[in-house]
Amino acid sequence: MFDIAGRHALVTGGANGIGAGIASALMEAGCHVTVADLPGSATPELEAAQSAGKASFVPLDVTDEAGIAAVVGALNRLDILVNCAGIIRRAEEFDLATFARVLDVNLTGTMRLCTACRPLLAANGPDGGAAIVNIASMLSFFGGGLVPAYSASKGGIAQLTKSLAIAWAKDGIRVNAVAPGWIATPLTRALQEDPERSKAILSRTPMGRWGKPSDVAGATLFLCSPAASFMTGVVLPVDGGYLVA
């Protein structure tokens, strides 16, 4: 039920943080993974995986429609799309140009990839197991007074996930999201290093620790596997209990 060996996956934002954790878990599960991330972002780990024939790195900005068409056009086959590319700009998000940029990367970038990959995913047929996993957030559920663009983009990811799940079920494409709680990655470094904010986060998290990229990878692989074959349109929290506390 959990076997996804031999599948082909595309992971945006897969060079760092949560995306890298998901990409490496997919490789361990026997998938071939195309990691699409900003030019120059390939890490030594990713280069080693590439040399071992488990992964391919392609430079891509998810705001570049022509670049996406070229990357997706070069794939022969695709079973799994994970949209992990994302940015946060905190206080600067009250500036309208920055607001638009965060929406463009986090939300429209996800829609661009979903749209470009749909024909390849649908080519697997109605029972071919094609799956999209988008990365939502706790801020898909809560407002974020310090991050208006980031929260709007993640609220949008939840609604986009539900909408595409309905629209593309007939193509055999399941569309789900994971909503990570507080995960220790470069994106949250400022919070991890702020003793007051970090204490507030940990004291509300029943499991009492920061999450790891591998915690999010487990739920993502589950949603891509036959074990989740009747699940679509779900936004699955992976948060150590933060949401219910």
Is the CA virtual torsion 222, 223, 226, 231 positive or negative? positive
- Coil/strand/helix, residue 92: helix
Residue 123 beta carbon to ligand NAI: minimum distance, rounded to whole angstroms: 24
Number of C-alpha atoms within 13 angstroms, CB side, residue 108?
12
In the complex with ligand NAI, which residue's Cβ is closer, 13 or 129? 13
Q: Which lies closer to ligand NAI via its Cβ, residue 108 or residue 171?
A: 108
As measured in angstroms, the least distance from the Cβ of 171 to ligand NAI is 25
CB of residue 110 to ligand NAI, shortest distance in Å: 9
Nearer to ligand NAI, 136 or 165 (CB): 136
Asked if residues 17 and 213 have their Cβ atoms less than 8 Å apart, the reply is yes
> For residue 94, what are the contacts with CB-CB under 8 A and spacing of at least 6?
148
For residue 203, give the 3-state DSSP assignment.
helix
Active site residue 242: no
Q: Which of 150, 168, 182, 242 is catalytic?
A: 150
Tokens coding 96: 């309208």
The smaller minimum CB distance to ligand NAI, of residues 55 and 129, is found at 55
| Residue nearer to ligand NAI on the CB measure, 124 or 220 | 220
CB of 204 to ligand NAI, least distance (A): 14
How far apart (Å, rounded) are the C-alpha atoms in residues 29 and 2?
Answer: 9
Contact 228, 173 (CB under 8 A): no
| Interacting residues with ligand NAI (CB under 6 A) | 12-13, 15-19, 37-38, 41, 60-63, 84-87, 105, 135, 137, 180, 182-183, 185-188
CB of 23 to ligand NAI, least distance (A): 10
46-73 as b/e, with b when 16 or more CB fall inside 10 Å? beebeeeebbbbbbbbbeeeebbeebbe
Residues annotated as part of the active site: 150
